Structure 1
Amino acid sequence: MRELVYYVAVSLDGFIAGPNGEYDAFAVEGDHMTAINERYSDTVATHVAEAFGVEADGRMFDTVLMGWNTYAVGLPYGITSPYRHLRQIVFSREHAAAAERVEGVEVTDRNPGEYVRELKAEEGSSIWLCGGGALAAALADEIDRLVIKRYPVLFGAGVPLFGPRAYAPQAFEAVEARAFESGVTFGEYARRG
């Protein structure tokens, strides 16, 4: 069965974006980028991978899930299909029936948990939960693995790693931890049990 992996950048104070969706405080230069390009190359946007010769081959992920706000980050720049090398699924109750349809991007208003259980039963690589925090909260029970890239920056406010959800502790165990000279740390956690 396929895994759902929440692979995401986060500030020291637990935010994946600033109050207005800002994410530019997350450094895109430094020794941590080698690790991203080697192991997690599927998470590099297609146009960036092509420009820098990064091979995104579907070895780690073949599907990406996004909430509308995460997907919409690229729209002002004309980026309507950010991960063309992956199956792209965007969850939105407001935009599912709208004209924002783009080839290679599926916008759905389906229940995220039900849909992810169906995706997990399919053949393929792991499923990448790209963001945002509200979608992560809706899928908390389905997340099999967390890969947290913690950046040495404080936002003070913004989009939390997980949006509000009913209190239900969920145990994960540490699988790997790496620290880089850039100050970025990677922590990988697998669901316990």
Structure 2
Amino acid sequence: MNTPQFPVGGYVLESEPSRARRAEWIDELEKTPEEVRNAVAALSADQLDTKYRNWTVRQIVHHIADSHMQSYARFKWALTEDRPTIKPYDESRWAALADSVVGEVGASLALIDGLHARWVLLLRSLSDGDFQRTFHHPETGLSPRLDEVLGYYAWHARHHTGQIVWLRRNRGLGAVDNPNG
């Protein structure tokens, strides 16, 4: 069986999402820490080192923490500066560093817990106008609105959690209780 690139489906940009849709995405981000934790529950060190395409389960967990940290900072910059230019990072090179390759996932799970608690608090405080704020991405040349970025990161969490759940279900890593996988 081929490993699908997008086990939960590819990202689809929703233009002009409603307030209700944004609330759904915020709820998803609030549940992300528990869903990631459930996805890796009871996996051995060897199982955490099982590859899903290019990255191991361990690297995927660390990537979620790294990527969502970046996004949280980008939200704060966009909310406090006028269309700031963000600093891109090479996620593949980050995933190749020792902390991602051999680091215990518990540290990233704890980071995701705290980060998402803060991020969700911030997101729930935003006005409709705040979600229209943008930042500039120098590599893509795009200036996405925060509501678009929110939708992407809700999908991003489902996407990577879905990869881990897919591995568990299809590569003999054991069952997982994760409704989104």
Please give the range of the TM-score, normalised by the shorter of the 2 chains: under 0.3
Taking structure 1 as the reference length, the TM-score comes to 0.26
Which is richer in helix?
A: 2
Which is richer in strand?
A: 1
Higher RCO structure, 1 or 2 (CA under 8 Å, sep 6+): 2
